[in-house]
Amino acid sequence: MQEMILIIDFGSQYTQLIARRVRELNVYCEIHPWNKIPTLGNHVKGVVLSGSPFSTRDPQAPTPDLTEIKGKYPLLGVCFGAQFLANNFGGEVLPSTIREYGRANLSFVDKEHELTKGMSDNSQVWMSHGDTIKNVPDHYKIIASTHDVSVAGYHIEGEMTFGIQFHPEVYHSLEGSTLLKNFIVDICGCDQSWTPDSFVESTVNELRAKIGTDKVILGLSGGVDSSVAAMLLHKAIGENLYCIFVDNGLLRKNEFQSVLDSYKGMGLNVKGVDASEKFYSELKGLTDPELKRKAIGKVFIDVFDEESKLVTDAKWLGQGTIYPDVIESVSVNGGPSQTIKSHHNVGGLPDYMKLQVVEPLRLLFKDEVRRVGKSLNIPSEILGRHPFPGPGLGIRILGEVTGEKVRILQEVDAIFINGLKEDGLYDQVWQAGAIFLPIQSVGVMGDERTYENAVALRAVSSTDGMTADWVHLPYEFLAKISNKIINQVKGINRVTYDISSKPPATIEWE
C-alpha cells in the first residue's frame, strides 16, 4: 500500500493546509475525523493531530482514543493537538492570561533537536489559541518558546511524540515547512515517492482492478477536473469509458463546440448533448443560490440517467470531484468541519439511477490535478484553463436565470477573458469571470438616459481554491475592458470590480 501520513481532524480551519503541506513534500496523506480513526498498518508512517475550534478543557471537546497510536507511531500534535497531549497525559492546560492570535516570534528554539533543527532564533510563527499549556510532566522536554508562552513546543522523551502550539502549515509560520519536513521525512521516514507519475500508475491500476470490463459513463464539463478524470479512466479502461459533454446553456460563449472538438482530438469516446432548454425550464422562477445549484444538479443527473440507458450495461458514473469539493460540501469523511455550500457533484446518486460512483480525483487538490494532467499529456489549452463552476453561469447570474441574461453575461465574460489573454494577464490569474448583478442603474449614453444592468468582474489568485486573494489588475486594463463591455454589450451600462478575498468572501458570489 502507498505509504501515508494520517491527519486526525478536530475541526480546524487549517486542517486542509496541513494536508497540502505534507503533499508538497511528495508524501501522500489522508484526513480522517477524530471519532472515525481508521485501522493503522505499516503503510502509515506517522500521525498529525490538527487544531480545533474547541478548548481541550471543554466537556464537549474531542477525545480521541490514541491507544493504538501514541508511543507506537511518530505523532505530532498541532495547537489543540499539542494541548490534548499535554492535558490528557499528565500536564495542565489553562485559559491564557495573554492570548496569542496571528504572528508571534520564538524566543527559544532547540536547533539541535530532530523536530526543530534548521529553524532560526526569533523565527516567526502563526498562533491561534486562547488556552496555554501551563505545566508538562518531567519527561516532556521543551524545545520551543515564545516571549508569552513557555511551552510552544515539546518532545515526550522515550517516544516519538511531539507537540507544537503554533501552526507550521500556515504560510506566516516562515519556517513551518522546515519543521514539517523534519517530522515527515526524517522522523517518520517517508521516502517522498508520491509524485504525479506514481499517482497515475497507482490510480490506473486501482481503476482497472475496481472496474474490470464494466462500462463507465462520465459527465465532462470542459474543465480541468473532469478532463483529467476522463483521461485517467480512458487510460485504465479505454473504449469502455463513455463520456457525455452536456450543453447546459450555462457555458461560456462558443464553449460547447470548441471543447467538444478538443475532447475528440484527445481520443476520448465522447458524445455532445444539448440539454439547455431542460436547464432553463428547471431554473425558471428560482432565485435562491442553493435551490439553483440543486436544480442544476438534478438536471445533470436526469440527463445522465437518460444517456446511461443508451449505453448497454453501464455500471459506473465517473465524476471529477476533488478534495475542496468534498471539504466544502460535507464534513471531511463525516468529521466536524463546517459545511460551506453544496456542490452538484458530491453526495452520490438517487436510488433510481443504478450506477456506482467512481471519483479518481477525490483526494486531490486543484494544483495536484493539473500536475497529474501534465503527466497524462493533456493539452495545455485545457490544463491551463481557469476553474469554472459546475453550475456554470447559473451561479454567476444573481437572481433568476433567463436565456437573455445568459446571452448578456456570455458576451461580457468573453470580452473579459479574451482581454486577459490578449494582455498577457490570463496566466497570472487563477480564476476570473463576470457576475450579472440583480440591480439596474441610471446611465447616460449619448444624450439619452439609460436604466440598465450592472455586472461585476472577478479575478483571484490562489493555489487550490481553499483561500484566494483578489488580483490587482492594472487600472488601464480595467478601464479598457469596462469601456468595451459598455459599448459592445447591449443591456449593460455599469461595470464594477470585486476586491474581496476568500475568506471572508467566497470566490463565486453564489
164, 78 Cβ separation under 8 angstroms = yes
29 included as an active-site residue: no
Q: Which helix (H) or strand (E) holds 243?
A: strand 241-247
CB proximity list for 487: less than 8 A, separation 6 or greater: none
Backbone φ, ψ for residue 193 (5° rounding): -105, 5
Q: Write down the catalytic residue from 3, 100, 129, 169.
A: 169
* Residue 208 grid cell: 482497472
Q: Write down the catalytic residue from 29, 100, 129, 167.
A: 167
169 included as an active-site residue: yes
Q: Taking the C-alpha atoms of 470, 474, 479 and 485 in order, what is their torsion angle to the nearest 10 degrees?
A: -50
What does DSSP assign to residue 242?
A: E
Compute CA distances 240 → 14, 234, 311, 416, whole Å: 40, 8, 10, 39
498, 396 Cβ separation under 8 angstroms = no
One-character DSSP codes across 46-112: EEEE---SS-TTSTTS-----TTTBTTB-EEEETHHHHHHHHTTT-EEEEEEEEEEEEEEEEEE-TT
Cα–Cα distance measured from residue 494 to residue 492, given in angstroms and rounded to the nearest whole number: 6
Q: Cβ of 292: how many Cβ atoms within 10 Å? A: 22
Type of residue found at 330: V
Cα–Cα distance measured from residue 95 to residue 233, given in angstroms and rounded to the nearest whole number: 52
Q: Which helix (H) or strand (E) holds 411?
A: helix 403-422
One-character DSSP codes across 175-237: THHHHHHIIIIIIS-------HHHHHHHHHHHHHHHHTT-EEEEEE-SSHHHHHHHHHHHHHH
Which residues have a catalytic role annotated? 79, 167, 169
